[in-house]
Amino acid sequence: MKTTKIESSNYRKFLKVNLSQISFLLFAMVAIAFTTGCEKDETVSLPETSTGEVSNITGEDAVVSGIVTSNGGSKILAMGICWAAGDAEPTIEDNFTAAGEFTRDGILEADWDYSVTLEGLSIKTAYKARAYASNAAGTAYGETISFTSKAGKTYHALTTDMIETHVQEPSEGPKEGLIDSDPGTYWHSAWSVAGATLPAHIQINFAEEKSIGGFTFMTRFTSKNGNDSGQFDVQTSNDGVNFTTVWESDEIIDALVRPDVNVITLDKNYTSKYFRIRILNTRSRTGTCTHMSELEVFEDGMLKY
């Protein structure tokens, strides 16, 4: 099965891309028909195609397979999957993703069994999709299948009274800097307290259980700094006192600097009332304190629980 990924566009424009090749093909077909018409009269019919399965559904794309089972006595000029949101039957006038490679002999039979990726989907949206195939007689469609794209990221609102930080630097960087929507403010772990070192943590206390699949943050500075947060783990607790590590990052990241946003995705969504995001290490790998601007946590609708 051959997988092809092509951006959606207007179907007629797509056919015009191969206009010279298709013109050559039609000219050749006319020439053949003229030279053989007295010997044999063949009727060209629509091709036959079937829609396969939908898989790998996310909030942004999905993979759909199809197969051409008959060319209808003519070269296959185009094929692929078309789709539309809602209840309407999709056609090539809607969104489509083409499959196969056009040649002077049309799309070869070796490419007739295919899968394509439908891109640019909206989250939590119902779609219908079906295979299509075109030859000199026109365009035929396969069976219509339905699917719903998954949810995207759901961000949880954070307030100052929900957050505890440890170890906190007394002289600068209060916890409010994490959630005040001002990238110019920041939180800073302790550097002036004797014996203070990493890990430092940001604890979030929800009023009820929430699911977290990741978090985003900005760096304090607009250029690289050795104390930028670079390696993390996440802990959960039933009582807000005793915590268990449920996830740890593999390696120290080279954090994007403000105003770019760093997105840290966990391996799944974890559910708890109490979370700790711990900073284990810094960009420099030698830092004993760290800082961070603008923290957000989210449930990821594309991760398992």
3-state SS, residue 178: helix
d(CA 216, CA 255): 11
Kindly indicate the confidence band of residue 42, based on its pLDDT and cuts at 50, 70 and 90.
low
Considering only CA atoms, give the Rg of the chain: 28
Domain ranges in the chain? 2-150, 155-300
Could you identify the residue written with the tokens 């809602």?
A: 86
**Whether the predicted pLDDT of 84 surpasses 90:** yes
Kindly indicate the confidence band of residue 11, based on its pLDDT and cuts at 50, 70 and 90.
low
Residue pLDDT, tens place only, 97-154 = 999 999 999 999 999 999 999 999 999 999 999 999 999 999 999 999 999 999 999 9
State which fold the 155-300 domain adopts: Jelly Rolls (2.60.120)
**Whether the predicted pLDDT of 237 surpasses 90:** yes
Q: How far is CA 98 from CA 3, 57, 111, in A?
A: 10, 19, 12
Kindly indicate the confidence band of residue 40, based on its pLDDT and cuts at 50, 70 and 90.
very low
For 25, phi then psi, to 5°, come to -65, -45
pLDDT at 304 (0 to 100)? 82
- What letter does residue 223 receive in the DSSP assignment? S
pLDDT at 22 (0 to 100)? 45
Host H or E run for residue 35: helix 19-36
pLDDT at 302 (0 to 100)? 85
Stretch 22-48: mean pLDDT, rounded? 53
Which of 1.20.120.920, 2.60.40.10, 1.10.10.10, 3.30.70.20 is the CATH number of 2-150?
A: 2.60.40.10
Host H or E run for residue 156: strand 153-156
In this prediction, what percent of the chain has a pLDDT beyond 90? 83
Mean pLDDT (the chain, rounded) = 89
**Whether the predicted pLDDT of 5 surpasses 50:** no
pLDDT at 271 (0 to 100)? 98
